[in-house]
Amino acid sequence: MEVYRLPDYLETRNSGSFKVFDYKTTTECAKQMVALKQNTFSFLIEGHKEVFTNNTSVAIKNSSFLLMKSGNCLMTEKLSSTVTNYRSILFFFSEASVLKFIQKYKITKSKKESKLSIYAFKYDSFLKTFVKGLVNISKLKPELQNAILELKFEELMLYLKETKGNEFLFSLLTNNNSQQKHFIDVVESNKLNKLNLNELSFLANMSVSTFKREFKKQFNAPPIKWFQDKRLEHAAYLLQDKSKRPSDIFEIVGYESLSNFIQAFKAKHKVTPKQYQSNLSF
């Protein structure tokens, strides 16, 4: 069988990014080989789902949903006898997002720490309402969608931690050694700072070449492009305040000149900063 990799538009490559997708199909599949590049919530709405991973197999109906660790799995999707569609709301998030959540709330490992690759949770009224909200968020502009999803991710993880315990959290990290945590801390805490690769490598206690290799491994993108994208995403967020002008923020997001900022912003967002603001509707 051929390994199936989810299309790029379904998954995010950046550690601080999130993606939600309303997946629908009328075709059943049996034990399809899937390579998940991100951790994924699969909120099953219609149909049946079965997943096999390296250490877990789970089968659910639409009264439950799955939390799947990134990696390879075998996935079966079946239609139920009462509907003609299979539907699942997919919520993608990165390992770095999990680590950031753990560190923010100072969560420590429990004695009952789990090492499973997949978890099945039952819906309750809160979670059903939460999933309905995700569908609406998926229709928003990408920049606004990502900002809201970051908040929704934190809301969901806090709720699951409170209602299901925190045993599953650390199992979502592929490697929990202190060196990796230190590296991700350096990157995440300095993503909007004006630091070059030599300075970042020094903070991470790595050579520049090692830093680049580790960066590619963790974030699946070259450092320069990743940091530029983060700063331009932050610029779009700042411009949602229409009282701010491009000339007020270009230095904040790490650009030495307004013209360079406008050029880079247009290359990423397809419009100038002023056009971006004029397109916003609140």
Which pLDDT value is given to residue 14? Answer: 47
Query: Over 70: is that where the pLDDT of 112 sits?
Result: yes
Which pLDDT value is given to residue 281? Answer: 61
Short-list 140, 124, 117, CA closest to 55: 117
Q: Domain locations in the chain?
A: 3-172, 177-220, 231-282
Span 123-168, pLDDT tens digits:
999 999 999 999 999 888 877 888 899 999 999 999 999 999 888 9
Which pLDDT value is given to residue 9? Answer: 47
Which pLDDT value is given to residue 15? Answer: 44
Lowest model confidence (mean pLDDT) among 24-28, 43-47, 153-157:
24-28
Which pLDDT value is given to residue 117? Answer: 87
Query: Over 70: is that where the pLDDT of 96 sits?
Result: yes
Tell which wins on pLDDT, 181 or 67: 67
Helix, strand, coil percentages, rounded to 5, for the chain: 45, 20, 35
Span 265-277, pLDDT tens digits:
999 999 999 998 8
CATH topology of domain 3-172: Jelly Rolls (2.60.120)
DSSP secondary structure string for all residues of 4-64: EE--GGGS--STT-EEEEEEEES--EEEEEEEESSEEEEEEEESEEEEE-SS-EEEE-TTE
Query: Over 50: is that where the pLDDT of 3 sits?
Result: no
In this prediction, residues 254-260 reach a mean pLDDT of 90
Lowest model confidence (mean pLDDT) among 67-71, 91-95, 174-178, 261-265:
174-178
Residue 177's pLDDT band, with cuts at 50, 70 and 90, is: low
CB 8 within 8 A of CB 90: no
Residue 106 has, within 13 A of its CA and on its CB side, a CA count of 0
Mean per-residue pLDDT over the chain, rounded: 86
Span 190-203, pLDDT tens digits:
888 878 898 888 88
Q: How far apart are CA 89 and CA 21, in angstroms?
A: 6
Q: State the DSSP code for 123.
A: -
Query: Over 90: is that where the pLDDT of 176 sits?
Result: no
Q: How far apart are CA 145 and CA 90, in angstroms?
A: 14
Which pLDDT value is given to residue 2? Answer: 47
Distances (CA, A) of 243 to 59, 141, 257, 278: 51, 20, 20, 12
Span 61-89, pLDDT tens digits:
999 999 999 888 889 899 988 778 899 99
